[in-house]
Each structure stands twice: as C-alpha cells, then as structure tokens.
Amino acid sequence: MSNILSGIPLVESPLFFKSENISDLDGEEMRIATDLHEKGYAVLEFPDDDLFNRIDRIKLNLGPKYGINFQDPDSDKTVAERRIQDAWQFDADVHAIASNQIIINLLSKLYGRSAFPFQTLNFPVGTQQAAHSDSVHFSSLPERFMCGVWLAMEDIGPDAGPLFYYPGSHRWPIITNGLIGRRGYGSDLTSAQEPYGPAWQSLCDAHGAQEEMFLPRKGQALIWCANLLHGGSHQNDPKLTRWSQVTHYYFEDCIYYTPAFSDEALGKLMIRNPFSINDGSIKRSSYLGEIVSDNNDFVKKSKNSIFKKIIKNLVR
Ligand SMILES: O=C(O)CCC(=O)C(=O)O
Ligand SMILES: [Fe+2]
C-alpha cells in the first residue's frame, strides 16, 4: 500500500505511526523520527569519522573572513560579521558536511522524498536571532518539505548564545502572509521575519510555550522541522565563540518558494530553483512531476536597484 498522505512529510504525518514505511526504520532512526514527529527536533551524533579534522580546517579557512580576533581570549567576538552563507562554494569541508550521505539518506527515509542540501550558514558566534520559523524564508508546496541540520563545531554552554527552540511548535499554524493579512508579492522588507514576529510571539503566549536551549557537545547535531520556532539566545559572554554550521535541505518534486514575498491564494509565488549542493544540479520547482515556471516578473522587470538589493539580501 502506498503512502495515502504523500503530500505530508512522513515524519510529520498524522498517519506516521500507522505508516508501513516506519517498518524500514532501525531503532536509532525510529528514535529520531519519533522526536521529530512529537517535538519538531531530534538530536544525533553527526555521522562523519573525519568530522573533527574538518572542523579544524573550517575554522582555519573561514576564521580570517569574519574580521574577529580569535587569538585574544579577552576580545569581543560578537563585534563583526556573524555568518558566512554558502561557504560550501569554496570550502570542501563545509561542502562535505552539507553533502553527508548518511544524513541525506536518513532525511530521505524520514520525509518519504529524496533530500538535497541547498544552503549552508557558518557561524563563529551566536546569532542572537529572535524566535522565528524558517518557513517565511523558504518553504515548499506541498508544505513542510524543508528542514535544517544544525551542527555544533565546539562544546556550547549557556553563555555562548546557544540555539533555542519551542518544542512542539512545528505543529502550530505555519504563519504566512495570508494568515496575518499582508500582501507579500512584490513587497519591500528590510527584514523578511519582521512582519511575522507578533504572530509568533502570540502563539508562544497562547501556548504558554517554554523555550529550550541546545547545549551540545562538539559533533552533536540537531535536525529541526520546517515550522519549528527557533532562534539564537542572547550571548551573555561576548568573549566566547559558538562555532556552528547550519545546512538547509529541501526534498525532490516540490515547488520551492519564498513565502515572505508570495501570495499563495493568488498563485503569486516567488519561486526558487535551488542548487543541489551534493550533486551540483539545479532543482527546478515541480508539482507532482510537472515543472513549474518561475514567474518572478517583478524581480526581473524591476528597474529599482534598491528593491533588487533588498531581494538579494533577504532571499537566503
Ligand atoms: O544558530 C542560530 O542561532 C539560529 C540559526 C537559524 O535560525 C537558521 O540557520 O535558520
Ligand atoms: Fe532560522
């Protein structure tokens, strides 16, 4: 029997525990799947025998690019650039972590469609980002076929601005423009998350949600579901580093788009055709096997360079 609800990631499906597909999962995979299903995140040891050597090389290669004085233990590490996006383009170890085949196989099994990594972010310190769902930046149709894998590249304590999240928030409504009464297509934003902050905060208040911190050992990773609310805690001690890599994954045969700049009900989608980091191909957005054309006319036609700049900075 095939998966009746094939438009919902297996691991997020209400039929998850009834699905015959879970019989394929071994004990550890089942633990991860159950945590994702119930809490929206799962912690695991990153499966790479060469990981610590990779981490050393990444720190050496990326370190000088942040403009941070890592040598002086007393220097403020939070003063300069906090992230490098898509370092996989020039760093073989960032690429290897993003393309880890065990992770790709695991995610593919858990979601019921083939996973591919499309973006990396490398942080030397905490992001101190407010609680948000990544689904305003990158989402899919059918929804929820996106996830993040957050890897600790050192031991991370409570004063280093650890990742935090609200367990169970992946089941709350995915906040889109339609839900907050905002038009998105062709709109102008300085922060793609800003219009949604009050809605996320209200959901947290209504649920009495308690945030949890991720205080990992070096080499531990956390998978989060598309709609899990998460952010970076305040970094109490600016002298500390918090080396980490986030890889975002999409899944085959979906429409990939940016909800912050879309009006789904009107069919106006800011479509993405993401680059698959592991196999070097462009994944055209598709729906049940049919390629969906890119209709971002407002970006192509725009003569307004400020708008183009905003789009370039926001579309992560
Ligand atoms: O590492 C953090 O503090 C948050 C990162 C994050 O929100 C993301 O990569 O989506
Ligand atoms: Fe995020």
Q: Establish whether residue 9 lines the binding site of ligand 1, counting it when its CB lies within 6 angstroms of any ligand atom.
A: no
Residue owning the nearest CA to atom 3 of ligand 1: 232
Are 148 and 247 in contact by the 8 Å Cβ rule? The answer is yes
How many domains, the chain?
1
Instruction: Please check whether residue 99 lies inside any domain of the structure.
Output: yes
Q: Establish whether residue 97 lines the binding site of ligand 1, counting it when its CB lies within 6 angstroms of any ligand atom.
A: no
For residue 281, report the distance from its CA to the centre of ligand 2, in Å. 24
Q: How confident is the model at residue 208 (pLDDT cuts 50, 70, 90)?
A: very high
Instruction: Please check whether residue 232 lies inside any domain of the structure.
Output: yes
Q: Please choose from 151, 163, 215 the residue to mutate so as to test ligand 1's pocket, defined by most ligand atoms within 8 A of CB.
A: 163
Look up the pTM and report it.
0.93
Which residues span the domain enclosing 41?
Answer: 10-314
Instruction: Please check whether residue 310 lies inside any domain of the structure.
Output: yes
Instruction: Please check whether residue 2 lies inside any domain of the structure.
Output: no
**CATH at residue 108:** 2.60.120.620
Q: How confident is the model at residue 295 (pLDDT cuts 50, 70, 90)?
A: low
For residue 184, report the distance from its CA to the centre of ligand 1, in Å. 23
pLDDT at position 315 is: 42
Instruction: Please check whether residue 303 lies inside any domain of the structure.
Output: yes
pLDDT at position 137 is: 95
Q: Could you report the per-residue pLDDT of 113-161, keeping only the tens digit for each?
A: 999 999 999 999 999 999 999 999 999 999 999 999 999 999 999 999 9
Q: Establish whether residue 162 lines the binding site of ligand 1, counting it when its CB lies within 6 angstroms of any ligand atom.
A: no
Residue owning the nearest CA to atom 9 of ligand 1: 246
Identify any residues that bridge with 25 across adjacent strands, giving them in sequence order: none
Q: How confident is the model at residue 79 (pLDDT cuts 50, 70, 90)?
A: confident
Q: How confident is the model at residue 188 (pLDDT cuts 50, 70, 90)?
A: confident
Q: Establish whether residue 232 lines the binding site of ligand 1, counting it when its CB lies within 6 angstroms of any ligand atom.
A: yes
Instruction: Please check whether residue 3 lies inside any domain of the structure.
Output: no
Instruction: Please check whether residue 123 lies inside any domain of the structure.
Output: yes
Q: Establish whether residue 153 lines the binding site of ligand 1, counting it when its CB lies within 6 angstroms of any ligand atom.
A: no
Q: Please choose from 82, 120, 123 the residue to mutate so as to test ligand 1's pocket, defined by most ligand atoms within 8 A of CB.
A: 123
214: left (phi over 0), alpha (psi -120 to 50) or beta: beta
Q: Could you report the per-residue pLDDT of 224-281, keeping only the tens digit for each?
A: 999 999 999 999 999 999 999 999 999 999 999 999 999 999 999 999 999 999 999 9
The mean pLDDT value for 195-205 works out to 97
Percent of the chain clearing pLDDT 70 (strictly above): 93
pLDDT at position 123 is: 97
Instruction: Please check whether residue 1 lies inside any domain of the structure.
Output: no
Mean pLDDT, the chain, integer: 92
Q: Establish whether residue 126 lines the binding site of ligand 1, counting it when its CB lies within 6 angstroms of any ligand atom.
A: yes
